[in-house]
Amino acid sequence: MNGVRREIEELRRVVEEAKLGGGVEAIGRQHSSGKLTARERLELLFDDGKYTEFDMLVTHRATEFGMSEKKAYGDGVVTAFGRVSGRNVVGIAQDFTFMGGSVGEMHAAKIVKAMQFALSVGVPVVFLNDSGGARIQEGVDSLKGYGEIFHMNVTASGSIPQIAVIMGPCAGGAVYSPALMDFIIMVSKTSYMFITGPRVVKVAIGEEVTEYELGGAEVQASRSGVAHFVAGDDREAIEIVKRLLSYLPSNSLELPPRVETGDDPYREEPYLDNVIPEDTAKPYNMYEIILRIVDRDTFLEVQKDFAKNAIVGFARLDGYTVCVVANNPLYYMGSLDIDSSDKIARFVRFCDSFNIPIVTFVDVPGFVPGTFQEHRGIIRHGAKIIYAYAEATVPKLTVIVRKAYGGAYIALGSKHLGADFVMAWPTAEIAVMGPEAAAEIVWRKELQAIKNENERTELLKKLAEEYRRRLTTPYYAASRGYIDAVIEPSQTRKTLVEALHLFITKREIRARPPKKHGLIPL
């Protein structure tokens, strides 16, 4: 038989129509606004642009408000699976060309099915968001759809990696699906997220604000901490997704992939021997320490513009994925506040969920003092770090580089919360509080007896130095077994690598009481 069968010709026609989504004109508008289409985005995500689409021919079944005449194959969302760097991934891409990518009953059903596919086989899901929100014409069916998506997000949480990319509008109830996922990437100038838009804000409180001032990428990345990464355009956003996935296992039952980086695992860094200033009040750049210790060119910082007094991110040590947590003395002297506590606790819990060892670099003088922090719940937020570290069962390696005072010392991967291997540099200071403050308490009566202010100040300096010498040195903590090793800073990389090699096969042996789940101090 020559030629193509009529049925196959019809199938090809339907497929081509489906690929147009909302039509040629709508695709043109998408491009003119600086955005790619749903399928163009998926082509960038998957290896060689190849993927298998499913539910391509789904359409909505609404009839109210003229909906029976307004249909398009796919119903405003593309669902597919394929490979990213050789590993299986499920992709979801909302199609703004049809009804602004609005979420109706069938649109939501496609998303839920895609997430069920990902969860059932244990692969990551990448959700490319570009939607005007709930499809008002479908009423409560739209809300039902959102609820089912949220339920799947929660079900999948901690089981498979979930990455949301905001590539257009994301408002109202739509923001909660990304918020329930593990990482949010926003595209600058074309995306925004908020619960209530500018019109509602103006009516409710009289404040005039634009979409981007209210919830643009830069705002959500630096002020609220909602966004973990900001990309310049759709292409850069997809590249961030690919790099992020390269550090992660496909699911919670697997270990992260090990990658040969070509960096000598036993490389020494003499520069680190003098990186800490002799003046303990002088700041320095913690990034210089991190970048010299981890495998070269492997550090991927997360939430870099939010709560800058803390640094978190992924890196590799001898090719193994590790999570890096560190204080940043350039901001608040590295002290912990509400935002940095949330940032660290959430990151530690993610890493524990997906079997990624945690390496902590400590230089923390304490928690930020004052009424602003206390009245907004620094106690509750600081407790999140303690909970996260104590709960984590992955290998936990800690390096105390300088200050480690009080409750902040305990919170940041101390031996007392279950750290596996704690090392300290000779510059470390481990104490209940700083030597000056401690001396004022320990020798209060002696200091009060001196009336001359200059003499009192001079004596306080001497007493503080005595306290520092007697109780804050790493050798005192090491004598108690709280520090496993005091090392030369230049030897940190190889010591961490050796500890990682030992503890990478760690299995928790402590008994845990039977319970449904603990109650993190949210």
Q: Is residue 174 annotated as a catalytic residue, yes or no? A: no
Which of the residues 173, 197, 319, 418 is marked catalytic?
A: 173
Residue 189 C-beta-side C-alpha neighbours within 13 Å: 7
Q: Which secondary-structure segment (H or E) carries 403?
A: strand 396-405
Which of the residues 406, 407, 418, 437 is marked catalytic?
A: 407
CB 143 within 8 A of CB 103: no
Q: Which residues contact 237 (CB under 8 A, 6 or more apart)?
A: 165, 167, 185, 186, 187, 229, 231
Which amino acid appears at position 199 of this protein? R
The residue behind tokens 């398009």 is 72
The residue behind tokens 């040590």 is 317
CB 289 within 8 A of CB 342: no
| Ranges assigned E (strand) in 73-220 | 77-84, 87-94, 125-129, 162-166, 169-171, 183-187, 192-194
Q: Is residue 172 annotated as a catalytic residue, yes or no? A: yes
Q: Is residue 173 annotated as a catalytic residue, yes or no? A: yes
CB 329 within 8 A of CB 284: yes
Distance CA 420, CA 425 (A): 17
**Residues 135, 136, 139, 140: is their CA dihedral positive or negative?**
positive
Q: Identify the CA nearest to 401 among candidates 457, 334, 354.
A: 334
- What does the block give as tokens for 419? 């750290």
Which of the residues 74, 76, 132, 172 is marked catalytic?
A: 172
- Give the rounded distance of the alpha carbon of 85 from its chain centre: 21
The residue behind tokens 């990151």 is 347
For the chain, how long is the longest CA-to-CA vector?
111
Which of the residues 408, 431, 439, 477 is marked catalytic?
A: 408
Q: Is residue 408 annotated as a catalytic residue, yes or no? A: yes
Coil vs helix vs strand at 66: helix
Which residue numbers are catalytic?
172-173, 407-408
